[in-house]
Amino acid sequence: MKLAVIGTGYVGLVSGVCFALKDNKVICVDMAEEKIEKLKRAESPIYEPGIEELIEQNLREERLEFTSDLGEAVRRSDIIILAVGTPSLPNGEANLQYIEQAAADVGAAMNGYKIIMTKSTVPVGTNEKIREVVARHTRHAFDIVSAPEFLREGSAISDTLHPDRIIIGIDNPELRETMVELHQDFTDNIYVTDIRSAEMIKYASNAFLATKISFINEIANICEKVGADVTNVAVGMGMDKRIGSSFLQAGIGYGGSCFPKDTNALIQIAGNVDYEFKLLKSVVEVNTDQRYMIISKLRESLGQLNGIHVGIWGLSFKPNTDDIREAPSLEIVETLVKEGAFVKVHDPIAMDKFREQFDHEHIQWCSTAEEAALGCDAVCLLTDWDHYRQVDLRMLGSVLRKPVLIDGRNVFSEQQIAESGLEYYSVGRPRMS
Ligand code: NAD
């Protein structure tokens, strides 16, 4: 099939590349010309393991093109996929400015019947708005499809090639066959439903996963007070098939471009129809508080923060991505420097993106984990990159001024800590040293 993908961010680029791999002709469009120039040279503007090899392969085999000319891409395609950003407005609602602009541009460029498929995460009812916007700009017939995306950054390619399920929302039953044909190369597990339900499935799924994370984090906080170990509790809970073991890792909470924005948006969606989503409000509140566990453990161990030197390991909101949107590291580093601490940071990939967002004279950018620890009063691990699991903890003890390790992701085992001689704080586990 001939596809145009509007927006070459984490979702649009990965989807475009994967649709091309399945023998579709794909044109990826972005209004950011510097991204398109890089992509034409098979250089990815985002860090995602394996993406550049696949871009290169698709370009070579002439299934994939990149352009900033949306009109041309629309005219040459049958299915137009909207994958632009839907960031939060200050009140938590989704900002639909990019999606509405893209819809208007698509409508204005149409030269015949098209299927317009929304992959961006959009509030319930947005696809109907998209239909109105497109209709205002074209006299040609078209159909609207909601196809929310569930990939995770860091494993986006395998998530797209082997998804648990694909959700398709349609209001014209004649589209079912085409949509199944387009997606069945990825999985047979395709659930076709109405458009509003498809839109809600995305928010409900992210809200549920965020709830699991905040739930286990609260259990962790209680474990610390009653002397239980949350990692053992999570194993035992996860053995129950009704619960499942995923998303039960206690830590400093979720971040990223999806969970924080989508939970807040769902609270707003409910509020707009006079429903107070009490449970989800608590999930968000627990998550916000959880980041400060790093700060309170530093205080518990070192007293005041003014003038102390802290090493930070990991800035991205999770491993294997350069994405720092809503990463806990932003608030933690900002709080530390505001309190007068000096911070030495390290991340294998995300330092440049972090620095664009937040810089300060108290921050020193380090090229290795060891350098970030050297001479510090404590090291705080914020992102569970594999890189940090490899660090020799005895070496860490020897380069730190005070041997304090605060592990915000429960990466290290009791045995590793026992051999290290470190004063170790983690989340929901008994104090070890
Ligand atoms: P992103 O910010 O990485 O990428 C969006 C891209 O769209 C940018 O490159 C931007 O330049 C481009 N763009 C915006 N308006 C445009 C226009 N009118 N024409 C052409 N290009 C335009 O965003 P993302 O992380 O890929 O997310 C996209 C959507 O997918 C969001 O709604 C998000 O909630 C959803 N989503 C994201 C993820 C994820 O892990 N990032 C997962 C599932 C769903």
pLDDT in tens, 49-108: 999 999 999 999 999 999 999 999 999 999 999 999 999 999 989 999 999 999 999 999
Residue 217 CA, ligand 1 centroid: distance in Å: 29
> 395, 370 in Cβ contact below 8 A?
yes
**Mutation test residue for ligand 1: of 80, 106, 146, 149, the one with most atoms within 8 Å of CB:** 149
Among all chains, which residue has been given the structure tokens 């044109």?
A: 27
Q: What is the block-wise mean pLDDT of the chain (433 residues), using blocks of 10 residues?
A: 97 98 98 97 95 98 98 98 96 95 98 98 97 98 98 96 98 97 97 98 98 98 97 98 97 96 96 97 98 95 96 97 96 97 98 96 97 98 96 94 96 92 94 74
pLDDT of residue 430: 86
Residue 97 CA, ligand 1 centroid: distance in Å: 12
pLDDT of residue 24: 98
The conformation of residue 94, written as its DSSP 8-state character, comes to B
> 421, 402 in Cβ contact below 8 A?
no
pLDDT of residue 432: 76
Q: Measured from the CA of 120, which atom of ligand 1 is nearest?
A: 32
Residue 289 CA, ligand 1 centroid: distance in Å: 28
Ligand 1 binding site (Cβ under 6 Å of any ligand atom): 6-12, 29-32, 35, 70, 83-86, 98, 101-102, 105, 120-121, 149, 151, 153, 257-258
pLDDT of residue 161: 98
Beta bridge partners of 424: 405, 432
Closest CA to 206 of 267, 263, 164: 263
> Secondary structure of 36-65 in the HEC alphabet?
HHHHHCCCCCCCCCCHHHHHHHHHHCCCEE
**Mutation test residue for ligand 1: of 30, 39, 66, the one with most atoms within 8 Å of CB:** 30
What b/e sequence results for 246-257 when a residue is b if at least 16 CB atoms lie within 10 Å of its CB, and e otherwise? Answer: ebbbbbbbbbbb
* Domains of the chain, each with CATH number or no CATH: 2-193 (3.40.50.720), 202-288 (1.10.1040.10), 292-425 (3.40.50.720)
**pTM, full prediction:** 0.95
Torsion of CA 95, 16, 161, 99, to 10 degrees: 10
The conformation of residue 432, written as its DSSP 8-state character, comes to B
Cβ contacts of 292-295, under 8 Å, gap ≥ 24: 292/335, 293/221, 293/252, 293/408, 293/427, 294/252, 294/328, 294/332, 294/380, 294/382, 294/406, 294/408, 295/332, 295/335, 295/336, 295/339
Closest CA to 79 of 4, 177, 136: 4
Judge residue 278's burial from the number of C-beta atoms within 10 Å of its C-beta, 0-12 exposed, 13-18 middle, 19 or more buried: exposed
For residue 141, what is the enclosing H or E element?
Answer: none
> 419, 433 in Cβ contact below 8 A?
no
Residues marked active site are found at 258
pLDDT of residue 15: 98
